[in-house]
Homo-oligomer: A and B are copies of this chain.
Amino acid sequence: MAEGITAKKPTRIQLRNRKRILDAALDVFSQHGYRGATLDQIAAEAGLSKPNILYYFEGKEDIHVTLLNKLMDAWLDPLRHIDPHGDPLEEILRYVHRKLEMSREFPRESRLFANEVLQGAPRMGPHLETGLKELVDDTARVIEDWIAQGRLAPVDPRHLIFSIWATTQHYADFDAQVQVLMEGRDVHKGASEFLDTLYRRMLAP
């Protein structure tokens, strides 16, 4: 009881502050991991006092979970946009490019997610088992249909999806390594061309 935010309509200030906190938390969590992050860092980066943070969220874990929830929605969205009635190869390539784009635009989200899964997804189990599982199963079925119709070269659809996730998120998650090995090169352009070639050659019927 007596929690800060009630179920009533939030004011503008509340909305703004929650947003600030989540943004700061995304920064800190994605960089240091859950345990490595401190409320102090988040508070400092949000420009709020520590107790004020706890007025908006129930605690450290609440912030983290809120972040993961928001993330998963956006994260899975591109998968939902694969059109079963579109051209198979182009649909998949569009997905690949969209994922690569997200890796570039939202590297913090990618790392937050990676951190969580790496540690066994202790705060995310439900999300994986319901939302994600169903979505992947659906998509796998679509791909299998395409293959059965001879419109895609035969591959295991789930491993295909994994490979897309792996290769695109790699540029966000392993950025520290990529930067060292690519020195001044234009990483994103090269990645985009490479992945285009990779999946085109692999999937062309």
Contact = CB atoms under 8 A, between A and B. Distances in A.
Most chain B CB inside 10 Å of its own CB: which residue of A118, A119, A153, A180? A118
Contacts of A10: none
A41 interface: yes
Interface footprint category on A:
35 or more
Given A33-B36, A159-B191, A181-B158, A174 B117 contact: yes
Contact of A197 (B111, B114, B133, B202): B202
Contacts of A173: 114, 117-118
A174 B198 CA distance: 22
Interface stretch (A60-68, A83-91, A162-170): A162-170
Interface in A152-205: 153, 155-156, 158-160, 162-163, 165-167, 169-171, 173-174, 176-178, 180-182, 185, 190-191, 193-195, 197-198, 201-202
A41 B2 contact: yes
23 contacts: A33-B35, A33-B36, A33-B118, A34-B36, A35-B36, A111-B118, A114-B174, A115-B115, A115-B118, A121-B176, A128-B177, A128-B181, A129-B180, A155-B194, A155-B198, A156-B194, A159-B190, A160-B194, A162-B167, A162-B171, A162-B178, A166-B167, A201-B202
